[in-house]
Copies of this chain bind each other. A is one copy, B any other.
Amino acid sequence: MFFEGSEKKLEIIVNASAPKLRSLDRTFWLKLVAASNADILSSISNEYCDAYLLSESSLFVWDDRIVMLTCGASTLAESACYCIEHLGEQAIAYVCYQRKNEYYAHLQASSFSDDVLRLRHFIAGQAYRMGHLDSHHHYIFTTDKHYQASRLDTTNELLMYHISGTVADYLRGDQQSTIQISQMLQLEQLFNGFSVDQHLFSPLGYSINGIRGTEYFTIHITPQENSSYVSVETNIDISSTQVDIFAELVRLLQPNSFDIIGFNSHIANKPFPHYLCLSHCAMTIEQGFNIHFSHYQQNGLEVLSPTLL
């Protein structure tokens, strides 16, 4: 029943001189996704963005950038290489490649070091680890090129591990519907006015993409007992919403631990009731992103049973 829910993530921003990404033909996107060993399941579009739901997570395409997340043992660095090679290194303004904390790193097709070696065949960049190796940590590769991000270019990621409670039980049950899941997660209240595209996986798993103008959110749930994982990512400024989106999702999904990763975000080191922030790591890169990583854990002793293997 093991499935590695935790994602690799890729963001590529192109120069003004590059072709508009949304004008590229479907073959390009099929090949880009195939390079990660994933498939396109469905898509939604609005004036600004095409949002693809993938067999392994999501791809969002705007005219000047893509954001792609892939879980499992997918090979997202290959999609990055394919994209840079196809568009030409000159067309690229900025690349950010991330790997989130994995349950079973040894089952991956490559290590982060392998990925960085591969990426550096195509583009120069710096690689960092945020957080201790033996605890939750986050890997990030960013390009060296001259690029200046807007301070308003924000992304917030919430990565929850070992979910519990009523919603988690429902997600592990036999009978599920996308309507029921989005209701239980209060997604209409949390992400009001978004067009959404949802998918239930067999035997377990749920994905949703949402877009509203240039904004997006995406949620991926791997509910499997002992290795459950839920990721939430959005480019809306969650510090200014009426409802505290991340606090609400943590309350609903009751993870044993979670990480928050922010780019130009205002929620670093935020207190969460019943959780301790165990470690925090931040850096500002030349390209105008302040990046922070915080690891939270339920406050109090957790008494575990041994897992028979």
Give the interface of A toward B (CB within 8 A).
Answer: 101, 103-106, 108, 111-113, 116, 126-136, 139, 161-162, 226-227, 256-257, 269, 276-281, 283, 297, 301-309
Contact = CB atoms under 8 A, between A and B. Distances in A.
B309 A132 contact: no
Consensus secondary structure, chain A interface? mixed
14 contacts: A101-B134, A103-B133, A103-B134, A116-B309, A127-B308, A128-B307, A129-B306, A132-B304, A134-B136, A276-B301, A278-B297, A280-B302, A280-B303, A297-B297
A161 B279 CA distance: 15
Contacts of A128: 306-309
A226 B133 contact: yes
A304 B283 contact: no
Nearest to A103: B133
A25 B120 CA distance: 53
A15 to B, nearest CB: 27
Q: Which of A129, A133, A162, A269 has the most CB of B within 10 A?
A: A133
Nearest to A294: B301
Contacts of A304: 130-132, 279-281
A226 B193 CA distance: 46
Contacts of A130: 304, 306-307
Contacts of A126: 308
Contact of A283 (B116, B297, B301, B306): B306
Contacts of A308: 126-128
Contacts of A226: 132-133
Nearest to A301: B277
A247 B126 CA distance: 41
B283 A302 contact: no
Given A111-B106, A307-B128, A134 B257 contact: yes
A21 B278 CA distance: 47
Given A127-B308, A127-B309, 17 more contacts: A103-B134, A106-B106, A106-B111, A128-B307, A128-B309, A129-B306, A132-B226, A132-B257, A134-B162, A278-B297, A278-B301, A279-B301, A279-B304, A280-B303, A280-B304, A281-B304, A283-B306
Contacts of A133: 103-104, 226-227
Contacts of A256: 132
A189 to B, nearest CB: 30
